[in-house]
Amino acid sequence: MRVIASEEISNTVKNLIINSSVNLPEDTYKSLKQASEKEISESGKTVLNQILLNADIAKTELKPLCQDTGLAVFFVEVGKDVAVGGKNLTDAINDGTRAGYAEGFLRKSTCDPLSRKNIGDNTPAIIHYDINDGDKIKIMYAAKGGGSENMSRLKMLRPSDGKDGVIDFVVETMREAGPNPCPPNIVGVGIGGNFERSAIIAKKALFRKLGAKNDDPELAEMESIIFEKVNNIGTGPMGFGGICTALGIHIIKEPCHIASFPVAVNIECHSHRHAEVII
């Protein structure tokens, strides 16, 4: 059994957080660049160029891309032949989160939902675990902003609603969201599972590389239909009007109950900060 010290995990998490806050991932930068070339609206083009300039400034001056440095969301895959020494894995990730948000001068955005009092250190992180084969731990991190999260939706469709029901729900969610979630957006769609599972896989779908095709041809086709419909809404970059409202539609599906048809739409802003590491 391989043993990884909890300090190593905390350190890795801290560095992931600090680096992500100032470095827009390459696939996102490339996708925004392509959008700036395709956009036909003048103000939309201006916005996209400003977003790219912002990414350049963040990277060279080590200044956070966005003031909303998010809640810290993790998808963690733990091999069956690895153990964590010292603190438990959840505490190790929270220690790394606390250190990353403090040492990176990032905004602390967790608060009590009722009193609205700030927790002060951006914990607790939101962590989803999976168990795998092997002796490694894979940590996927996203800084998830509140603006796009607030526009996300979940609906228990009827099985008779079919594929068209899913497509309509995603497009309607994006139409209602309009300028609020900082378009152009990445749209994660979770189909199936149950109530909570659909939301978790919608979030996980956001991690797929922008521009990478869905392995499932049926889902790939749905993605391109939704992509066209969403970009026909007219919202455009920051909602000032245009044809670049979504950078990508990413769907994951899982089996569900014979009576259910859950669909979750998790919207991500253009400041698509995510990173992963294998220890």
Report the interface residues with another protein, using CB under 8 A. 30-31, 34-35, 38, 40-44, 46-47, 50-51, 53-54, 57-58, 61, 63-69, 105-109, 116, 118, 120, 146-147, 150, 178-180, 182, 211, 213, 224, 227-228, 231-236, 238-244, 247-248, 269-271
Q: How far is the CB of 262 from another protein (least distance, A)?
A: 26
Q: How far is the CB of 215 from another protein (least distance, A)?
A: 15
Which of 188, 242 has the CB closer to another protein? 242
**Which residues are within 8 A (CB) of 256 and not within 5 positions of it... i.e. 6 or more apart?**
192, 193, 194, 198, 262
How many other C-beta atoms lie within 10 A of the C-beta of residue 267? 27
Which of 84, 247 has the CB closer to another protein? 247
Q: How far is the CB of 79 from another protein (least distance, A)?
A: 32
Omega within 30 of 0 (cis) for the link into 159: no
Q: How far is the CB of 35 from another protein (least distance, A)?
A: 6
Q: Which stretches within 122-251 are classed as H helix?
A: 146-149, 162-177, 195-205, 217-231
Which of 6, 20 has the CB closer to another protein? 20
Query: Which residues lie across from 154 on neighbouring strands?
Result: 264
Which of 138, 175 has the CB closer to another protein? 175
Phi, psi dihedral angles at 69 (to 5 degrees)? -85, 10
Q: How far is the CB of 11 from another protein (least distance, A)?
A: 21
Q: How far is the CB of 161 from another protein (least distance, A)?
A: 24
Query: Which residues lie across from 143 on neighbouring strands?
Result: 72
Which of 247, 263 has the CB closer to another protein? 247
- Report d(CA 53, CA 55) in Å as an integer: 5
Which of 198, 214 has the CB closer to another protein? 214
Element (H, E) at 19: helix 6-22
How many other C-beta atoms lie within 10 A of the C-beta of residue 86? 14
Q: How far is the CB of 53 from another protein (least distance, A)?
A: 6
Which of 248, 262 has the CB closer to another protein? 248
Residue 201 is which amino acid? I
Exposure of 260 by Cβ count < 10 A (0-12 exposed, 13-18 middle, 19+ buried)? middle
